[in-house]
Amino acid sequence: MNKISKLLTILCFIGFGLCLTGCSDGSSSASTKGLNIYLFGAPADSHWNIWCWNKDSGTPYSSKSWDESKASGWEFSIDEIDAEKGCLVMNLNVPKSATLGLLFVNDKGDKQTADITVSTLDLKNARELYFVYGLTKFYTRFEDIAGIKNATISSADGKELSGSIYGYTELAAEEVSVTGSDGTVYPVSAINITGNKYSITLTEGDISNIPYAIEYNGVIVKANPSCEVIDSSFGYEENDLGLTINGSTATFKCWAPYASTVELLLFADAASLSTATETIQMTPSLSNKAIFVAENINFGSNKYYKYKITNGTTESTVCDIWNGVASADSVASQIVDINDTSAKPADWENSYVNPFGNSGSETKKYSDAVIYEMHIRDWSRAFVADSTGKFRDITNNLKNSGKFAEHLNDLGITHVQILPMFDYAQTNADKNYNWGYNPYHYNVPEGRYVDNMRDGTDAVIQMREMIKAFHDAGISVIMDVVYNHTSGTGTNSLYDKTVPKYFYRLDEYDSYINGSGCGNEIATNHKMARKYVIDSLKHWMKDYHINGFRFDLMGCLESDTMKEIYEALYAIDKNVLVYGEPWTGGTSGVIGSADKAGEALVGYGFGAFDDSFRNAIKGAEFGGFQKGQVQGTADDNNIIKGLKANTSRNATNIKGLTIHYAECHDNYTLFDKLAMSILGMTKPNKTKLDLFAALGAEKLSNVIKQDKLAAAYIFLAQGTPFINGGQEFLRTKKGNPDSYAADTKGGITWTNTAGNLNIDDVNTINLSMKETYSDVYNTYKGLIALRKANPEAFGSNEDAIAERVLVNADATTKQKLVTRYATGDFLIFFNAGDTDYSVVDGDTLKVADYPNLIDVSSGEVSSSSLSDSELIDPETGKLNVPAKSFVILKK
């Protein structure tokens, strides 16, 4: 996705010889010598190859012509990695006596160096050739390489530069020239070199005259202020970036610290976004030159705007990243106040609403919540069979006690967590399925979920309608947010086009760090990037009444950032829920990662998903197909830790900050994982897409027991329970382990076309399963009811006890797969084994102290006398816990 030239940090080495012998120039193996060819500073947005020919005869040293190579792949390619010198390298066998022509070319053949002439006789005994990208000069010793890799302005006055050099470059002040963007020359007064790092001091500078051009040895490197300098010199605290409307006039403010000019482009309507009706030059603010302002503009009948931003030599037209209303696909921002009547449903409440805690009149704990994950399209199609996913499909089935509201309320859900519904990269015209974890504009609703989108206000209204319908049904709304990466960079990123590379973490060679696993990661350690994220979250809370946020790959954000986020949102609603995935998707540049739950100065803090409890229950999701406790693979210690919410993902004393789950949108559904385990499958099978049929009645019965047991672990544990929509009635995805889009997963290609591998059919919710597997549904419902009725026992009890039990009364060894759990007035036994367990009392925990047997299987909580139960052995009088089950006792 990276379209920007960047200097490489790695040494790529190919261990094969490019033999130019026996070719059309008639040379023989006896007359050849081996060379290592090194190339420094090649743009890393391309894969590089060598084209070599005999300059005397013009004959290429390749079996393919240039055009054939361009069409089908270059013969001599540069691929592998070694990290010492910081360059590309290739091993070459060349004639001892020849004049060679060399050039470096990318795969597409649309980027190449100038021709380089090398006489092999001049090389004498040299075995290495060093090149600097952009120069035709070459070197035969690493020590002789001269060149600047990169440069950054490292002081607020613009007088200090720093960066890296190639080889053993000895920079002299008289050999380096520095000019500002307007051509002003800034004389060099001093240069210091330490290893491969340098610093340059100028006699004068101007931080606003950027980018600087640093020229040395014929190569020009551009320098912009470091992000630290940007933050200290151009940071902005006010909340008026973007658009502010005052009657018939508007003020526009664009934060663009690298820009030389910014123009405001006005457009008549959404159908005319290619031709501006008016262009207005924006002026830098006197107090902050990074803020470009067009003040009190009479916008007349114009409805949309863009910015034309010139950063260096690059000119970009871009939608305003600070505005929250945009045309389809965020091509342009709409000139409208988001709280104008034209952007609100008729019954929209101006004040913030959260059913959880009655909009702040009550104080709630995290652990009082029961979170239910859902995707707009999956549930739209539960009600409208051919829907491509619409806010209004959900709204219509929430209003007036509709099917969806009835289902959620009957189950006992307090919050829905909705997969991404900000504007992601798929265009509105693209009707194919996608989860939405590819952000394009963080502040704008996803247009594909909007019926008949004509203006940006349609998206605002329809999303607000849905949220209000949830609230009217008594359900709070959590938004799944992805502030860890964007769908693209460079020209594919609104953020890069506004402030190149500022919003992203970069390595020391100006390359995008990829902690998200998606090509980039957001630099929330940068002041204005952090401000943007917090402002965005506050926008969703204040303007849409969102009640909480689930952070995708929260580990890519700093713990300090997450604390600051929670504290800012707590100021709006003391019952807000903030939690996320405490891991990254790759090697991240984050320092002080939010890799576990963290306390804040106010309220509770931010929570974290507990993957160790998840893995203990059903088996890990990574490192191969694995089984867990409910399938009979013992992990008693992690089960015990999970029940008490004492896991590595929560270092606080606040139990509710541990988010417990056995299924979410990622990976296999719980049913699929359990079914595949019992069938001996480790990946999906085209002949067993219907896992219910593949199981048969007996094995299905066993899977159902395992599923109910998994639910009991989640709902009865300390912490906050979370389930995926449909989990409560054995939702299946036909074994697809990652159903985010049509793709090849598990060795099967899932498609957007009709058939049994259609990705929509895989993901669509089938509500009829609620009746088919009503026993499973009722068990989930009953467990939730028990939990909600006894918050002192289930959620935040610091005195809960969980322990293994003795094999029998005469034994000293512990029974695997059986756990005794005491919390509040309850004593619970979990038996994940394949045989019944006859209870041996603990030292202090005696069955006789808990005479009431609690049943949740009907969906209601009922109590009966334990002594009258069939679970009591008539001969021994001991409690028998059946295999793959749980037993709940109460004082």
**CA distance to 242, 359, 443, 568, 716, per residue, from 322 (Å):** 5, 27, 7, 18, 43
Instruction: Count the Cβ atoms, other than its own, within 10 Å of residue 26.
Output: 12
Residue 810 to residue 472: CA distance in whole angstroms: 58
Cα four-point dihedral sign 63, 68, 70, 71: negative
Amino acid residing at 547: N
Question: Is residue 331 classed exposed, middle or buried when 0-12, 13-18 and 19+ CB atoms within 10 A define those classes?
Answer: middle
**CA distance to 14, 40, 44, 88, 168, per residue, from 82 (Å):** 10, 14, 15, 9, 19
H-state helical runs in 110-226: 120-123
Cα four-point dihedral sign 256, 258, 261, 267: negative
Task: Judge contact between 303 and 268, C-beta under 8 A.
Answer: yes
β-partners of residue 650 are: 597
Residue 265 to residue 302: CA distance in whole angstroms: 10
137 token code pair = 């000069």
206 token code pair = 């101007």
Cα four-point dihedral sign 767, 772, 774, 777: negative
Task: Judge contact between 682 and 621, C-beta under 8 A.
Answer: no
The answer to whether the peptide bond before residue 284 is cis (omega within 30 degrees of 0) is no
Active-site hit among 231, 446, 552, 621: 552
DSSP three-state, residue 37: strand
Nearest alpha carbon to residue 290 among 336, 202, 245, 224 = 224
Q: Work out whether strand 605-609 and strand 278-281 pair parallel, antiparallel, or are unpaired.
A: unpaired
**CA distance to 6, 212, 403, per residue, from 198 (Å):** 18, 16, 67
Question: Is residue 338 classed exposed, middle or buried when 0-12, 13-18 and 19+ CB atoms within 10 A define those classes?
Answer: buried
Residue 760 to residue 762: CA distance in whole angstroms: 5
Task: Give ∠ CA 658-663-667 in degrees, rounded to 5.
Answer: 120
Helices (H) and strands (E) in the chain, counts: 17, 45
Sheet containing 99-106: order of strands: 48-54, 99-106, 116-119
**CA distance to 125, 127, 578, per residue, from 33 (Å):** 9, 8, 64
| Straight-line distance from the first to the last Cα atom of the chain, in angstroms, rounded to the nearest whole number | 61
DSSP three-state, residue 787: helix
Residue 537 to residue 480: CA distance in whole angstroms: 11
**CA distance to 154, 408, 538, 723, 820, per residue, from 229 (Å):** 6, 50, 26, 45, 58
Is 552 marked active-site?
yes
DSSP three-state, residue 379: helix
Active-site hit among 564, 581, 672, 707: 581
Is 423 marked active-site?
no
Chain centroid, CA 60 distance in Å: 46
Amino acid residing at 246: N
Q: Which residues are catalytic?
A: 552, 581
